Structure formats: C-alpha cells, structure tokens
Chains A and B, each alone.
Chain A
Amino acid sequence: MEFSLDKKHEMARTLFKDFAETEVKPLAQEVDETEAFPAETVAKMAKAGFLGIPVPKEYGGQGCDPLTYVMCVEELSKVCGTTGVIVSAHTSLCIDPIMTYGNEEQKKKYVTPLAKGEKLGAFALTEPGAGTDAQGCQTKAVLEGDEWVLNGSKCFITNGKVADVYIVIAITSVTEDKRGRKKKNFSAFIVEKGAPGFSFGTKEKKMGIRGSSTYELIFEDCRIPKDALLGPEGKGFPIAMHTLDGGRIGIASQALGLAEGALERAIEYTKERKQFGRSIAQQQNTQFKLADMAARIDAAKFLVYRAAVAKATQRVYSVEAAKAKLFAAETAMAVTTEVVQLFGGYGYIREYDVERMMRDAKITEIYEGTSEVQRMVISGALLK
C-alpha cells in the first residue's frame, strides 16, 4: 500500500498548483463579488487540457487517471471553489456518463469536443419537487416518430446557462408492479443547447460558488432527435445514480481543496498576527486547533484519493465515494468555519478570502447528494 504519490502525479500536482496560483487565485475574489462566470479561465483550462483529464486520448482527452483529475479539482478549489466545481460538473456529470453509457457516435460527437474544452457540459436531474427524492422527478419525454419531446423543468443546474451539452433525466414510461402500484421509468438524454423548446429560467443568487452558473432549465415541447437517448430506455435512474457516484468524488475533492486552502491561510495568518506581544500561533489553543484541522484534512484526503483509485479499479465504488464526500464536505465546513474564527474580525471581511471559503464550503454538504443521502448509501451497504 503506497501512501505517497509517484513522480508523474507529483508533477501533475505542480502543474495544477502553478496554474491555480497564477491564473485562478488573482481572480477569485472578483469572481465572487461580481458573480461573473470565469470564461477566460475556462478557456485557459481548455488549452491546458484540464477539461478532459480522465478521458482517453482517442476521444480528445489527456489519458490520465481519476486520481489526476481529482488532484486538479483539489488544487483549483484551494484558491477558488467556483473554478473547482466548473471542472468537476463538466467532467464527472457530463463527460463520464457519455463515456460509460454512450454509443460510439455519441462519444465521438460529444466527448471529443467536451474533453478538448470546445464545449462545456452539465447534468440535469434535480427539480423543484425532486431533490433527495430524485424519483419525484416529473419531466417527461415522449417518443413521437423520429423525435423525443421533453416537457418539464430542472432547477439548480451547475454550468446551467454556459453549457452546450446537457444530460437530462426524464420519465419515459409508467408501469404497474405486481401489486398494481405505479412505477416511473426514467431515461437519460443528451440535449444540446439551442434545441427547439429548450430555454433558461431563473439564475440563482447563491450563498457561495457565486461565479458558478446555476440556472433553471425549461423544456416546453422540446424536440430532440431519437438518437439523443443515452443508454437503454428505462435505465435513466441507475445511469443517474452511477453518474452521481463519480460526481461525488469530484465534489469531495472540491471540499478537500477548500479545507486545505483555508488551513494554509490560517497558518500564514496566525504566524503574523500579534496579540498580547506575541503571534497567536504561539498560543497553544491556536496550535491545537491547527493540529486538529491538519489531521482531519489528511483523513479526508486519503478517503478522497482512495475513492478516486476505486473508480479506476472497481466497477462499483458507491460506498467509497459516499464516505469521501460525506467526510470531506463536513471537514470543509468545520475547517473553514474554524479558520474564519482564527482570523477574528478580519475573518469576517471579504478581502481576507476565508469567509468566501466558508460560504463556498457549505454547498459541498448539500449538492450531488446531501450528507444525509451519503449516510443512507453507507448504512445501506453496511446493513445489507
């Protein structure tokens, strides 16, 4: 069991760290203040190959492993939670299901431009009435001749208005089980921006990751080609769940990065800040808090990396992903909150970055499966 990274992964980390410090960090505060989607940064990331890291070269990707991808999200999130989630949603929630369930034409048509960063991806499952209760989804897709017709709406969609390719989950049939209870059957579809009847609704005003484009999607007799169906008809729910397993690893990585970034800031600040004639880092209370955070972050890191390796080597990795996401998200929230406290009054001032990290951290406990959902997944596996 090897606990240190080999040279090529270390070099990849150096690349991601350099890029984050040079291109992302200087913009992070402005992105948050103005809620502007960092389009220029996304273009630079596309050029550097960051938008297709785990995708095979034959489909325009970098041919690296999930661990390398996860390290990219981690390093980006250390300086900007928004930038981290843009890469995560695009790669895990849009590219991954097409790579896993798509046919060869779909992979060539969609994965290649997505991996090259020529197009951006998104995933649409959540609806006003369907969050944790994903099966409460009401968007319908009906086959009419050569086209599917979609009707319904999705909310809280990351990369909402900036994406070009959307994975949309909709009901394609309702059947009855042996006891006469109605059961919804879902299917997954690849919907392109600009499809007739596909429009955008509200842009959400959020607590954190404010530069992330979070939008409502509206389908009013939206017509898409018959071959827009992703995977077998009726298999939409397992496709969505499996996709979220991968997405959770990305979000766990975002949470890990946020926590690490906050701790780095805290170490810097507590060494400089003097009260009562000495730096607060010389006070044992501060030292113990830093120690606790460092240990907890390390634990989160190994859960996240373990989940990434599991994704590369196992067919099913739901429990590893759930543990990583649960632990990393709660760590991010606890660490960023504590760091704001260590900064004292300055922690409350926006120029000092750490309050933004705390606001960014909160969502990691909620999206792509709340911490409660992760507990359901883990206990479900334990008590089988």
Chain B
Amino acid sequence: MKIVVCIKQVPDTKGGVKFNPDGTLDRAAMLAIMNPDDKAGLEAALRIKDEMGAEVTVLTMGLPKADDVLREAMAMGADKAILVTDRVLGGADTWATSSTIAGALRNIDYDLVITGRQAIDGDTAQVGPQIAEHLNLPVISYAEELKIDGDSVIVKRQYEDRYHELKVKMPCLVTALSELNVPRYMTPGGIFDAYDEKEVTVWGRNDLKDLDDANIGLNGSPTKIAKASDKVRKGAGEKVTLDATESVAYIMGKLKEKHVI
C-alpha cells in the first residue's frame, strides 16, 4: 500500500511572528515546526505501515529549510520525502498551493493521500479538499478515526455535535484532525537514519505535471492580502449598563454600524 502524507512547516509562534512587506509571512526568519494536524496524519500513516505494511512518502511545498520537517517525518518512520521548492512558487494562497501540490502528486503512484485538516498559520482548511478536487479524488475531511478495509478507507468524520462514519474506495484523500492520535516521538536512530541513510528528493517548478503558470505563486493567487499584523492590542472597549430591552437595541445598533448585519 502506498500513502502520501502532505505536511507543512509552519511558524512556531513561540518565536514571534514576522512579515514581509507584501503581508505574507517571512518564514525564513521564524522558528518552525511540523503543523500539528499534519503530524497526526503522518502518525496515522505510520500506524497503517506498522500494522499492515505500507510505503509512506511525505511531501511538502516550502522553502529549502522545509527539509527539516521532512527529516523529522523520516525520523518518525516515513520512507521517502519530497520537497517541492522554487522561487516562483512562493507567496501562494490556498488555490496556488493546492494546484502546485496536485502537480507534484500527478508524478506519484498512491492509494491514499493524507493531509492535515488545516495549518496553524493559514487556518483555512482549504488545501486538502482543493487538492482532491484538482485530482478528481473523493475526499473525507475532519477525520477523527481512520481504518483501512481492503480496498477502502473507513473514516469517522467529525461534526460539532455528531459524527458520520464514511467508507470510500481508494484512491482517495483524507484530512486529519490532531485528535486522530498522539504522534510518536522520533527515535535517536531514526534521526541519524533520516540524515545519513535517507534522501530528500527536490522538485522544482518544472518537475510538476499539468500545471499552468497562471495558477502558481503570488501572482497565481486569487487571495490578495490587504493587511497582516501580529496580535493587535485591544483597547479597553466601551462599557455600557442598560436594561434588557435597551441592551438588545444597543447591540443591534452596534452590529448594524459595523456592517456585521
């Protein structure tokens, strides 16, 4: 069985947030970790590998330093790693990112693609399902549990107040929640192997298949960032004491004023 896990190196906000002039993140200047939802997805793949045998490939689109997060994945037990990196791919929004990753996946033979539900920097939860659409794969998102059943996958899909149990035939894509599992630690031997025995394959723009230039990088991104900042200090705010009816009128007035309704 062949599984591809898409992972992302995200800023560890412990080190502070830094921005480029165009509002995108200055990733090179920030401390970085593997996105937690993605790590859970990787752990799910590794458990399948432990139980029934599988080849686990990790794939990331990022800066050259995203090599670190691929090594971490291999130190946990992933077999292969692919880094998709190219200047022209930078500044991508979810559309451009998913188009790019789909371009990479078209080169790979897989039964199952796992992505994290969402990244802690973008928080959109769009990329996983978008990749599936680009590749015409069925997608189940918000996986709380994941099992292999012959040629299918059975997923417990989380909703706020309930869950659905869905079965889908492979090849398919699943997005993982960090609640899916508690990821294993790397082992010291795994780390040594990741750096000494295993290799990271690097792909540039030209290695990606069926991908239009109009759909990549900052220029290929329909989302335009108007403004981005670190945590904004909120002022003390306005405090008003009114009775119940007056309070409702007051709140409604304020919501209309701010174009919320």
Contact = CB atoms under 8 A, between A and B. Distances in A.
A14 to B, nearest CB: 8
A57 B71 CA distance: 20
A64 B188 CA distance: 7
A53 B188 contact: yes
A8 B185 contact: no
Interface string A107-122: 0000000000000000
A15 B188 contact: yes
B223 to A, nearest CB: 33
B14 to A, nearest CB: 12
A62 B185 contact: no
B185 A48 contact: yes
A61 interface: yes
B256 to A, nearest CB: 45
Nearest to B67: A7
Interface in A32-61: 47-50, 53, 57, 61
Most buried by A among B68, B72, B192: B192
B185 A57 contact: no
B191 interface: yes
Contacts of A6: 195
B237 interface: no
Given A7-B68, A7-B71, A11-B71, A49 B187 contact: yes
A255 to B, nearest CB: 21
Contact of B189 (A11, A18, A62): A62
Contact of B188 (A7, A18, A47, A49): A49
Contacts of A88: none
B196 interface: yes
B28 interface: no
Interface residues of A, number: 20
A61 B72 CA distance: 19
B131 interface: no
A63 interface: yes
A15 B191 contact: yes
Contacts of A50: 188
B188 A62 contact: yes
A68 interface: yes
A12 B191 CA distance: 7
Interface string B183-200: 011111111101110000
A20 to B, nearest CB: 11
Contacts of B190: 49
B43 to A, nearest CB: 14
B75 interface: yes
A19 B68 contact: no
Nearest to A61: B189
Interface of B: 68, 71-72, 75, 184-192, 194-196
11 contacts: A6-B195, A8-B71, A8-B192, A8-B194, A19-B185, A48-B185, A49-B187, A57-B189, A61-B189, A63-B192, A64-B191
Given A7-B68, A18-B185, 19 more contacts: A8-B71, A8-B194, A8-B195, A11-B75, A11-B194, A12-B188, A15-B188, A19-B185, A48-B184, A48-B185, A48-B187, A49-B188, A50-B188, A62-B187, A62-B189, A63-B189, A64-B188, A68-B192, A72-B188
The 5 closest A-B pairs by CB, nearest first: A62-B189, A49-B187, A8-B195, A62-B188, A48-B185
